[in-house]
Amino acid sequence: MKLSRIITLLFLLLGFSIIKAQDESDLLKQISNCSEISDIESLSSSVYKEKYVMYLNNPINWSDPNSDTFKSRLILCYKGIDRPTVIVTEGYYANYALYPSYEDEISHLFNTNVIVCEHRFFGKSIPDSLNWKDLTVENALADIHHARKIFGKIFKGKWICTGISKGGQTTMFYKTQYPEDSDIGVAYVAPLNKGVEDGRHEEFLSNSVGTESERNMVFLAQRELLKRKPSIISMFEKYSAEHNYNYRKSINEIYDYCIFELPFAFWQWGTPINKIPSLDASNQEWFNFLIKISDPDYFSYPTATTPFFVQAAYELGYYGYSTKGLEDLCNVQDTHNYLYSLMLPPDANDIVFNKSLYEQTVDYLRNNDPKLIFIYGENDPWSASGVCQWLDCSEKCNMKVFIQPRGSHTARIRTMPNNIYREIMSCMTKWLE
């Protein structure tokens, strides 16, 4: 290569570096100039040009002008000022977004910026004093709306709200309550429950999921684990002690609850049916299977997910258990109100489920047509209470529901069959024009 061309290339590279540095400092300057944002820290990323974690000051109770405030964690991933922006309506904590390799699926597909909004009362977004009355969907959505208003002054492109599972619920509610905040919504595997023990999940697991043969194999696995309980319970107790699990019921009762939970967990995560041990397998093999599918940490109290169970009891709803065909082998005969007896903090035991959020959301989705995509897995028990069960989009121009055949709670755009994947991509590409 000639010297003149080398010098020209070096100048071009130097110029690009200066421009890039200037872009970076401009973005950081705009964020830093916002008085409501604090504790900004740069993060490394193998995907994004710039990445920051920061905290946004929010009222603990948005309806009270005299409310105390708390810091809500945000993670900003930057690809370009002219790019669309994904706002992730997280339902729990946002630790995963701190990793250098983190990339949101929609951001990957459409080259967007990302703002991950950690949910209040989770992770680093916890007020100094916990008042469960402040842990409402209304307050959580107002937190997200606050972030949207601030960053809407920086990013002028189109906005996409998205979330997975409980975060998918949050996306659904956010699109319902703040329809103008985002141009597009993508809610992954989001249930819409109508009660603390909704009732549809038990029927789904007994009669609809998988094939009849597969359902029977899971049921027989439950019975086998209960039959082996006298031999396995010592392993179960030792495992719980080693992991410092604390329970609000006896170890024998917790064992039973893990068996009741097993079908839901088995199908939720798409466990292959051949992972069930054979009847002549050892007790150790059966114990390992139980722990892998239905770890008792789920029933340990308290945990980082305790706030979720409070929300489930108040507004989000949840699922119940069926003990049919297992009664002869169980210590636990009645699982009604198990959330209250096992998972709720004592100061939340007076919570009564409020069905208004469910009713408002159903009414909105039936009578409106936002650019909102729902994605479900066919075998995911959460789909039993998903909008896929009752929402007819055939006469709607925008709203879409897609189901991955034999899919689980891991259903995503990229896991869809090619024809569905192409339809989703075509739809979103058109919306982003």
Residue (of 314, 347, 306, 364) closest to 138 by Cα position: 314
**DSSP codes of every residue in 219-242:** HHHHHHHHHTHHHHHHHHHHHHHH
Residues 167 and 280 in one domain: no
For residue 175, is it within any domain? yes
The CATH number of the domain holding residue 393 is 3.40.50.1820
Q: What pLDDT does residue 10 have?
A: 40
Whole-angstrom distance, CA of residue 295 vs CA of residue 256: 12
Same domain, residue pair 419 and 327: no
Residues 231 and 342 placed together within one structural domain of the fold: yes
- Domain co-membership, 181 together with 263: no
Does residue 8 sit within a domain? no
Q: Is 177 in the same domain as 206?
A: no
Q: Are residues 158 and 220 in the same domain?
A: no
Residue 1 belongs to a domain: no
216 shares a domain with 147: no
Same domain, 215 and 323: yes
424, two tokens: 């989703």
SS3 of residue 401 by DSSP: strand
* Model pLDDT, residue 130: 86
Q: Which of 329, 348, 367 is the last residue of a domain?
A: 348
Q: Domain count of the chain?
A: 2
For residue 372, what are the β-bridge partners? 185
- Asked if 103 and 47 count as a contact pair (C-beta separation under 8 A), the reply is yes
For residue 383, the enclosing domain spans 29-193+357-431
Give pTM, 2 decimals. 0.92
For residues 390 and 361, the answer to whether their CB atoms sit within 8 Å is no
Residue that terminates a domain, selected from 348, 382, 416? 348
Task: Name, in order, each residue with C-beta under 8 angstroms of 309's C-beta and a sequence gap of 6 or more.
Answer: 318, 339, 343, 344
Assess if residue 133 is contained within a domain: yes
Asked whether the beta carbons of 263 and 218 are under 8 A apart, the reply is yes
In a domain, 274, yes or no: yes
pLDDT block averages, 10 residues each, the chain of length 433: 41 40 70 96 97 98 96 97 97 97 98 98 95 96 98 96 98 98 98 97 97 98 98 98 97 98 98 97 98 98 95 98 96 96 92 97 97 98 97 94 98 98 98 96
Whether 370 and 397 have beta carbons less than 8 Å apart is answered as no
**Both 333 and 381 in a single domain?**
no
**Structural tokens at position 259:** 């068996």
**Order of strands across the sheet with 37-42?**
37-42, 50-59, 69-78, 113-117, 85-89, 159-164, 184-188, 372-377, 400-404
**60 contacts 126 by C-beta, under 8 angstroms:** no
Residues 183 and 238 occupy one common structural domain: no
Alpha-carbon gap, residue 351 to 349, rounded angstroms: 5
